[in-house]
Amino acid sequence: MLIHFSKMHGLGNDFMVIDNVTQNIFLNTEQIAALADRNRGIGFDQLLMVEPPYDPDVDFHYRIFNADGSEVQQCGNGARCFGRFIRHKGLSNKNSFRVSTKGGVISIELDKEGLVRVDMGEPVLQPQAIPFKANKQEITYILRAEEQTFLCGAVSMGNPHCIMLVDDVDNAPVDQVGALLTKHERFPEAANIGFLQIVSDQHARLRVFERGVGETQACGSGACAAAVWGMLQERLESPARIELPGGTLEISWQPGQSVFMTGEASHVYDGQIVL
Ligand SMILES: N[C@H](CCC[C@H](N)C(=O)O)C(=O)O
């Protein structure tokens, strides 16, 4: 099977992007994990598949697979690259697209300065819908693991996020605590673990241990979830600059409305591989 693909990244969160509108590629979990391998495969955090729409009022369908092969509901950095890819491949000459994902419909807009703005939909805070085990909805929950106690927020952007405050992201125990909490039994579908340092009322720093990957250089849905949690606690105001190791995203949100994420999307190369 010959696969044409593009290698892209959103602030260093990197992707293999496959046009499954003009191709008809099926990859199983093992094949995706092998392609994700940075020594023996293409190497990526997520595989993104562009598919024809299943619904007349969207332009495309968007499937997302983590490096471990698991299919997930949302990928914010991937959405910006998805929009850039559509134009790069000439799959549409529009500048804005409605795209369905497992986690709901998002809107992607390419702006004149080369940035990409995504309407990520409304954040989900109701525990059962995240999903997160809790007796009632709170802004902050107490999680216990291995004799440690963590104060965390739980927010879904279509995919589940657990966020905690830290004094200094550079010294946050991302690998150790991320690995401990990503599969916490209160997150039945696992979770992305965000470590958030508030710098000012419109600026924060964030590192994310991603479900199915580990720490990435940036996590778009994680930046959205962390910004929402910061705004709910009135520690952040909208719009907020969320600074990740790979770069900065602008996140805007008002309660009851969609979260908007604006940032770069980069094309690295086009390639092909025979499986
Ligand atoms: N690891 C995430 C999917 C990718 C999210 C991230 N790359 C983004 O930019 O939102 C999950 O399992 O929910």
- Is the CB of residue 72 below 6 angstroms from any atom belonging to ligand 1? yes
Q: How much is the pLDDT for 100?
A: 96
Which residue positions form the known binding site for substrate?
A: 13, 46, 66, 76-77, 159, 192, 210-211, 220-221
Q: What is the CATH number of domain 2-120+264-274?
A: 3.10.310.10
* Residue pLDDT, tens place only, 64-84: 999 999 999 999 999 999 999
- Is the CB of residue 61 below 6 angstroms from any atom belonging to ligand 1? no
* Residue ranges of the chain that CATH labels 3.10.310.10: 2-120+264-274, 127-257
How far apart CA 258 and CA 50 sit, in angstroms, is: 23
Contact 153, 163 (CB under 8 A): yes
Question: Would you say residue 254 has pLDDT above 90?
Answer: yes
Q: CB under 8 Å to 215, separation ≥6 — which residues?
A: 174, 175, 178, 207, 208, 209
Q: How much is the pLDDT for 249?
A: 98
Q: What's the Cα-to-Cα distance from 154 to each of 32, 80, 86, 132, 240, rounded to whole Å?
A: 29, 24, 32, 7, 19
How far apart CA 185 and CA 58 sit, in angstroms, is: 35
Residue with tokens 């992305």: 192
Please state the ipTM of this predicted complex.
Answer: 0.96
Question: Would you say residue 266 has pLDDT above 90?
Answer: yes
Q: How much is the pLDDT for 113?
A: 86
Respond yes or no: is residue 224 known to be catalytic.
no
Q: How much is the pLDDT for 272?
A: 97
Contact 86, 49 (CB under 8 A): no
Q: How much is the pLDDT for 112?
A: 83
Q: What is the mean pLDDT of the chain?
A: 97
127-257 maps to CATH 3.40.630.30: no
Respond yes or no: is residue 75 known to be catalytic.
yes
Average confidence (pLDDT) over 87-103: 94
Q: Which of 10, 154, 3 is nearest to 76 (CA)?
A: 10
* Residue pLDDT, tens place only, 196-216: 999 999 999 999 999 999 999
- Distance (angstroms) between ligand 1 centre and the Cα of 76 equals 7
* Residue pLDDT, tens place only, 111-167: 988 899 999 999 999 999 999 999 999 999 999 999 999 999 999 999 999 999 999
Neighbours of 30 (CB within 10 A): 9
- Is the CB of residue 221 below 6 angstroms from any atom belonging to ligand 1? yes
Q: How much is the pLDDT for 37?
A: 98
* Residue pLDDT, tens place only, 83-92: 999 999 999 9
Q: How much is the pLDDT for 26?
A: 96
Average confidence (pLDDT) over 229-254: 98
Q: How much is the pLDDT for 203?
A: 98
pTM value surpassing 0.90: yes
